[in-house]
Amino acid sequence: VTAVRFDLALLGVGHVARTFLQQLVRHRARLQSEYGIEARVVAAATRRRGVAIDPNGIDPGRLLSGAFGAPYSDGVRFIAEAADAVPSSVREGRFVLVETSLLTIADGGPAVDHVRAALMAGAHVITANKGPAAFAYRELAELAARAGRRFLFEAAVMDGIPIFNLARETLPAVTVNGFRGVVNSTTNYMLTDMERGRTFDEALADMQRLGIAEADPSLDVDGWDAAAKAAALANVLLDARITPHDVDRRGIRDISTDDLRAAIADGQRVRLIASARRVGDRAVVRVSPDRIAERDLLARLDGMQNALVLQTDILGDLAIAELSAGLGQTGYALVSDLVAVARSIRGGRR
């Protein structure tokens, strides 16, 4: 296969970006032999560590710790400076922004600005951040199409499980009319751990220790993370044109161990369910801790497991489950997005 040599700019170098880098190293030989992919990091930035830009490639060791040198002012400026440093790579469509900043639930920013700026500067964008697809999917997808670049976010929902790729690449002529699922690992872990008698705080602390909980845990326990994922799914699968603020949302803060045990005594389980269905030309999207029958697929998810059931016209209901969740899977999702970019470059897809 012909080689594609990617120049990557990392905006955010936290848990997810590091696992992405580890996965790139671990799978280097296969990525090169099967997809012709070579990748190096030419720019990296975080608010606290500052900015590093080197068109000859940044030493991987330097990415892992320490200050980067130049101070960070804002992401849009960083993207412009990084693009300026590698003009031929931008021109040839080999420049990729890897966006892993944190979700701002008020308006999805600044990640939405980062994605917009990168596409306008000629970069492809792969992001683990839910904000762009949850708040501005239609605008950014159209911008990417006009720019002849990809805007991909497989890592944003269900980590490495290919939900957006599944819908995009494998379901020709299928209409998705709705979905229901468990899409937040932290709250599913907490609910199933509390069923076994542990406290809310103990279970949440486990998820924070593993780097699975959001930096601000109220995003998980109040249902915002699930609402952002539900909005992203509804925008992509149902053309919903909504934001997380349009989702009818309830979290798990009020759920007690007694509630969970009472449900079990009735042959039920409590799970934080994200769902959407078409009603006329709009989508009704909800997140709530529902009681569901214990034979329900979603009731049988344990710990960090996730699953999503798509309701379709041709195939009826189909489900995809993430039975082994973790950060490695999230890093892999970004790798899979990079492979999708390489494929579209090779396929001349615009």
Q: Which residues bind ligand NAP (CB under 6 A)?
A: 11-17, 46-49, 75, 100-103, 110, 128-130, 155-156, 159, 211-212, 214-215, 327, 330
**Are the beta carbons of 181 and 310 closer than 8 angstroms?**
no
Nearest-CB residue to ligand NAP? 14
**Are the beta carbons of 34 and 1 closer than 8 angstroms?**
yes
Least distance CB 75 / ligand NAP (angstroms): 5
Least distance CB 12 / ligand NAP (angstroms): 3
Least distance CB 232 / ligand NAP (angstroms): 11
C-beta of 11 vs 85, nearer to ligand NAP: 11
- How many other CB atoms are there within 10 angstroms of residue 145's CB atom? 13
Q: Which amino acid is at 36?
A: G
C-beta of 121 vs 128, nearer to ligand NAP: 128
Residue 151 backbone dihedrals phi, psi, to 5 degrees = -125, 105
**Are the beta carbons of 275 and 179 closer than 8 angstroms?**
yes
| Strands lying side by side in the sheet with 306-312 | 248-249, 282-293, 268-279, 176-182, 306-312, 317-322
Whole-angstrom distance, CA of residue 37 vs CA of residue 35: 5
Q: First and final CA of the chain: distance in angstroms?
A: 20
Catalytic residue among 116, 124, 150, 229: 229
Least distance CB 185 / ligand NAP (angstroms): 7
Instruction: Using the CB atoms, write b or e for 10-33: b if 16+ within 10 Å.
Output: bbbbebbbbbbbebbeebeeebee
229 is catalytic: yes
- Show which residues are catalytic: 229
